[in-house]
Amino acid sequence: MRENRTNDASEPIDLEHQAYRLRLSGLMLGCALAQSAVLALCAWLGTIDSRLTLAFLACGGGGALVFWLVHRFGINLHWRHRELTMLQFLSTAALQLIFMILAPNLAILFLLGALAAFACCMAQLTMRQFWILWFVYVAASGFALWLTGDAAPTPGLLWLFLALGLALLVPIREQNQRMREQLATKSMQLRAALAKIDGLGRHDPLTGVLNRHTLIETLEAELLRARRTGHPFCFAVVDLDHFRGVNETYGSGTGDMVLKTLSDCAVRLLRALDRFGRIGGEQFGIVLPATWLDQGMIAMTRLTKAVEAIDWKDIAAGLTVTFSAGLTTNAANDTVEAIIKRAENALAQAKSEGRNRIVQAEEALPEMPVDVE
């Protein structure tokens, strides 16, 4: 069944329930075919006319097949009212009553058929719908048995059996409903737990930004996209200046606050399509898609000013924080390792030149051969 079908906001729930509807329709089809087989056996034994068997197969089996096909190909998903349970039961119950009048000597078979249909559909019905159908069908079956007169064996007992049998389905339905609700709750909890685990596996637990593995995956994907489209991108490696001194002077707790504050600042400042992640320790990486090197330099300069504008004294008295960065862009036949190495070399140059600065680097152009006359 296709999972990418979209109709409206409630569609994911409908698709989740569509498999159940299909199983229900398949069960109803199986019951109709099994009942037709029993009628065929009765016709072979001479109990009923064979034409009655063919008529039931055409009406009962054909109707059940139509409902199954409607659910199998998702036709009901295109309708405003997608739940066909009431219609499916009413058509089946009406058919059972008609054939009970036509073949009263097999009244028990048709009453059991209605009971089976009720059991199949009850999980999809509200309590109000359940009792309405119970009352309507018990009254209709009683009238049908009255029409058969003495032709049906012990019609009073059969009617009582049906009324009590249908009523006994109520506790079964309630138990089934409770189990479905519990399973739905557990399923939601499981999905939430899996989403949390996935988030923990992709994000740095301290800062909440992407971790090293996910950042490198993002860089690899961006490199493939750039090769496919020809669009440039930038990659920067950011390293906090004198961060070891911050930990030694103010403690690791303050150091953690510095890392989180810097990360929050970068995430707020960068574009939605940019990706910011922690490589390790006090070092971070930034992927800037669809960005030329001069544009990347502007973005990194803005980040420098934003970090300088933070009131670091709110974290610790006398605290100041700056960073150094190496910035590069992709080149022809580039690799992830080469891009990272180029950015790290630019970072090392920024540190050697006094820190608190950004150094940009590009892949060197290949040397052109010199013609010798």
Delimit the domains of the chain by residue range. 11-167, 212-361
Strands, E assignment, 39-130: none
Most confident among 100-109, 113-122, 277-286 (mean pLDDT): 277-286
Most confident of 22-26, 121-125, 127-131: 22-26
Q: H-helix or E-strand containing 324?
A: strand 323-329
Calculate mean pLDDT across residues 11-37.
79
Distance from C-alpha of 280 to C-alpha of 238, rounded to nearest angstrom: 11
Give the lowest-confidence range in 90-99, 293-302, 353-362. 90-99
DSSP state of 78: G
CATH of domain 212-361: 3.30.70.270
User: Is residue 120 packed enough to be buried (19+ CB in 10 Å), middle (13-18) or exposed (0-12)?
Assistant: buried
Of 94, 71, 65, 98, nearest to 84 (Cα)?
71
Q: How far is CA 87 from the centre of its chain?
A: 30
Residue 138's SS3 state is: helix
3-state secondary structure of 147: helix
Q: Rounded distance, CA 114 to CA 96, Å?
A: 6
Most confident of 114-128, 166-180, 305-319: 305-319
Helix (H) or strand (E) holding 276: strand 275-280
Mean pLDDT in residue range 212-235: 92
Residues 323-356: pLDDT tens digits?
999 999 998 888 999 999 999 999 999 999 999 9
Q: Is the per-residue pLDDT at 265 higher than 90?
A: yes
Q: How confident is the model at residue 193 (pLDDT cuts 50, 70, 90)?
A: low
Please work out, in degrees rounded to the nearest 5, the angle formed at the alpha carbon of residue 272 by the alpha carbons of 267 and 274: 70
Cα–Cα distance measured from residue 293 to residue 343, given in angstroms and rounded to the nearest whole number: 12
The mean of the pLDDT values for the chain is 83
pLDDT at position 2, please? 38
Confidence class of residue 163 from pLDDT cuts 50, 70 and 90? low
State the residue for tokens 């960068």.
270
pLDDT band at 256 (very low <50, low <70, confident <90, very high): very high
